[in-house]
Amino acid sequence: MQLHIILNEHAGSGRGMKRWKSWQSLLEIPYILHITEYRGHGFQIAKQIAQEAEEQSRPACIVIIGGDGTIHEVINGVLANEWVTIGVMAGGSGNDYARTYDTFHSVEELLQFIQQPTRKQQDCGMVTLQGQHAFMNNCGIGFDAAVAKAANDSALKRVLGKLGLGKLSYIYYLIKQLFVFKPFELTVMKNGEQHVFHDVWFATVCNQPYFGGGMKLSPSSKTDDQMLEVIVVHNLSAIKLLFLFMTIFPGMHVHLKEVTQLTGQKFQLTHNAELLCHADGEILAKSKEGLTFYVNPLSWYATKK
């Protein structure tokens, strides 16, 4: 099995780089190191590795040292390729992937895997928005995407991130967006049933429970059940939304009447305003009218301890 490391030195405001430095001298087996140089580079590198693995019929393990954004790019590059297994050493800020999927916590764990590789097939969600995109965690429209965009574009996030206070910038932009974001109207079609929602703050389609750096948005989501959940937060004031965010961390929000959960394999969402869409926390594009989501069952392999 050929070992590839894809490192995002910038993930977690430099945490990715620090973790790699602590690993590098201990990794006494052959490997190929790839360092991402720009947004989207993880996808290009992974696609190339997957193509070569397939052409040479040689198994490859890609270990990502980075956050959810880098993992998202790499998985998009290797979908439906049975020669590639994805491993992760979490080095990002939010690290929602690491809350559900198996990850490596030490070089010893990685070496054990290389000696005796065990892996597990996982689902991903697919969204159609200016092309097809896969997501391993979640994908959504509305308030959370607006907060992510504002935080990612800000110099404040970079400054606070370097001080280890990255979450503070997220909270700052979350409160700011509470005053400027305009709730929207949403229709969700599932198996021919129509569900209409008013004053929607956000709608997120989930493949696993965690979201936004540890919030348990979709407690019942599983990564291998060939199903997706859509969570719609609707009909509430800005102040109540703030309180609702506090209940999301332990996953208590699902009992509130302002939160609706639907489970299925395919959803069609239509809305009445232009909305930003994120996939695994990465801003994809603006959705003008609607989006289609479907589950792509058992479409990639993750390392299993």
Residues near ligand ATP (CB under 6 A) are 8, 10-12, 36-42, 66-70, 73, 92-95, 281-282
- Pick the closer one to ligand ATP by CB: 36 or 85: 36
Q: Where are the beta strands (DSSP E) in the chain?
A: 2-7, 32-35, 60-66, 84-90, 119-128, 132-135, 138-142, 184-190, 193-206, 210-211, 215-216, 228-234, 259-264, 266-271, 275-279, 282-287, 290-303
- Pick the closer one to ligand ATP by CB: 93 or 260: 93
Q: Minimum Å distance from CB 73 to ligand ATP?
A: 6
Q: For residues 90 and 20, give the distance between their C-alpha atoms in angstroms, rounded to a whole number.
A: 10
- Pick the closer one to ligand ATP by CB: 41 or 149: 41
Residue nearest to ligand ATP (CB): 67
Q: Minimum Å distance from CB 241 to ligand ATP?
A: 22
- Pick the closer one to ligand ATP by CB: 90 or 236: 90
- Pick the closer one to ligand ATP by CB: 38 or 179: 38
Which amino acid would we find at residue 108?
A: E
Q: Minimum Å distance from CB 13 to ligand ATP?
A: 7
Q: For residues 196 and 190, give the distance between their C-alpha atoms in angstroms, rounded to a whole number.
A: 11
The answer to whether residues 117 and 61 touch, using CB atoms and an 8 Å cutoff, is: yes
Q: For residues 64 and 69, give the distance between their C-alpha atoms in angstroms, rounded to a whole number.
A: 11
* CA-wise closest residue to 174 among 246, 236, 111: 246
Q: Minimum Å distance from CB 42 to ligand ATP?
A: 6
Q: Minimum Å distance from CB 122 to ligand ATP?
A: 18
* CA-wise closest residue to 91 among 9, 157, 212, 210: 9
